């Protein structure tokens, strides 16, 4: 067991060397530094709330981009508008947008005698 190094031996030797050095700060000055560090802590910006906010924004944007409907190509829109629709004579189609047709059924024309012609 004499061959094994003592893991704390290096630290103990370094600490003994440090402890023999002369004191550079008076006890009162050291106490004042400690008290100042305790009483007036430095203001630090906490990153956790900022990171959480950034992650929320990124996830919301990704979800919005993934769930929004894809815009149809201009060629598809043109084809929809030009496509012939088989309708009866008394039906008119209005397109509110490329995906929403509105069908109107017109009343039949009446003859001079009041009957349907």
| Tens-binned pLDDT, residue by residue, of the chain (117 aa) | 444 666 677 888 888 888 898 888 888 998 888 888 787 666 666 778 888 888 999 998 888 888 887 777 788 777 777 776 667 778 888 888 878 888 888 777 666 665 555
pLDDT value of residue 3: 45
pTM: 0.28
Q: What size, in residues, is the chain? A: 117
Residue 67 and residue 58 in contact, taking contact as beta carbons nearer than 8 Å:
no
H/E/C letters for each residue in 25-52?
CCHHHHHHHHHHHHHCCCCCCCHHHHHH
Q: How far apart are the first and last CA of the chain?
A: 119
């Amino acid at each position: 067991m004499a061959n094994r190094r003592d893991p704390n031996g290096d630290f103990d030797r370094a600490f003994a060397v440090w402890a023999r050095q002369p004191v550079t700060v008076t006890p009162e000055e050291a106490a004042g530094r400690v008290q100042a560090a305790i009483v007036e802590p430095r203001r630090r910006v906490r990153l956790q709330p900022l990171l959480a906010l950034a992650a929320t924004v990124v996830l919301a944007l990704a979800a919005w981009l993934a769930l929004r409907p894809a815009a149809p190509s201009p060629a598809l829109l043109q084809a929809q508008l030009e496509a012939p629709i088989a309708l009866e004579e008394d039906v008119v189609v209005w397109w509110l947008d490329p995906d929403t047709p509105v069908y109107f059924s017109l009343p039949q024309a009446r003859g001079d005698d009041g009957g349907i012609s």
